Amino acid sequence: MSFTVIESDVRRLWAAVRFVDASSARAIDTPLVVAAPGTRWQRNRSGLYVLVQRDGAPVLAGYENAFDPLPATPPATIDATVHDPAGRRLPRRFALPLPRSPLPAGPTGERFQPLTVVLDPAPGAPVLATWAVLRLSVTRGGAPAAQVAVRVRRAAGGALLGRGCSDARGEALVAAAGIEQVTVGDGEIVVEREVDAEIELSVDPAADPSEPLDPDALALRPGVVRTTVAITLASGRHAALAIALP
């Protein structure tokens, strides 16, 4: 018995990405623009951005035949950018390693879980009245410092309270949504309305300020310019600070 193939249409879903708002920690449900050279992305009904086609991307050349056996190190990494047409969040770069691992790291393997990418708020993004809000003006050498990754952590324990990134004007917004309005205090203090925190700022002097960067990679990268500033936060309090980086 012989068969004749009249038409062949092979489609592949490579991976999915979920974008999360840094201030609210909620998935972003408004349209975003995701791009990477030689790739095509499609937003599905769940708000995930799915890599559906590679359109001859050089980084994925030969990738389809690299599954037997599955390599320990992903043979390809998609270097992509995302920006918010509404201007509520800052553009950024992110890396998507492929293939997604089929080995179970929980109830299902990584292959079936979207990559989560956090988007930092633009300086003019809306905030809630109960959030502790920091508005930073960051400079370096007397000029606005763009693309400075900002992390705000509790002074005791180092838990992350909020994050942000500076825009081309050196302006950054950080909203700490998880600070309680009233907490039980120690010793003779019955209640505490304030939280001691530290602002950590990281900047790469060699980076091109006109190109989006990966703020998560920058915040962890050794050898960059890094400064820490102490501050006290409270729910509903807004503070404005001018910080000069060395």
pLDDT in tens, 106-121: 555 556 688 999 999 9
**Which homologous superfamily does the CATH classification assign to the domain defined by 132-245?**
Carboxypeptidase-like, regulatory domain (2.60.40.1120)
pLDDT digits (tens, 9 = 90+) for 168-190: 999 999 999 887 766 666 665 55
pTM as predicted: 0.83
Strand order in the sheet with 33-35: 33-35, 76-83, 92-98
**Cis peptide leading into 69, omega within 30 of 0?**
yes
Tokens of residue 138, six digits = 């960051």
pLDDT at position 149 is 98
Percentage of residues of the chain with pLDDT beyond 70:
76
pLDDT at position 189 is 54
pLDDT digits (tens, 9 = 90+) for 19-65: 999 999 999 999 999 999 888 899 999 999 999 876 654 444 455 55
Instruction: Delimit the domains of the chain by residue range.
Output: 15-119, 132-245
C-alpha 228/C-alpha 155 separation (Å) is 11
pLDDT digits (tens, 9 = 90+) for 5-29: 555 455 567 789 999 999 999 999 9
C-alpha 43/C-alpha 168 separation (Å) is 29
C-alpha 49/C-alpha 117 separation (Å) is 11
Beta bridge partners of 200: 151, 228
Tokens of residue 64, six digits = 């389809």
Residue 62's CB is within 10 A of a number of other CB atoms, namely 8
pLDDT digits (tens, 9 = 90+) for 125-177: 999 998 999 999 999 999 999 999 999 999 989 999 999 999 999 999 999 98
Percentage of residues of the chain with pLDDT beyond 90:
63
Contacts of 33 (CB under 8 A, 6+ apart): 82, 83, 84, 85
Rg (CA), the chain: 22
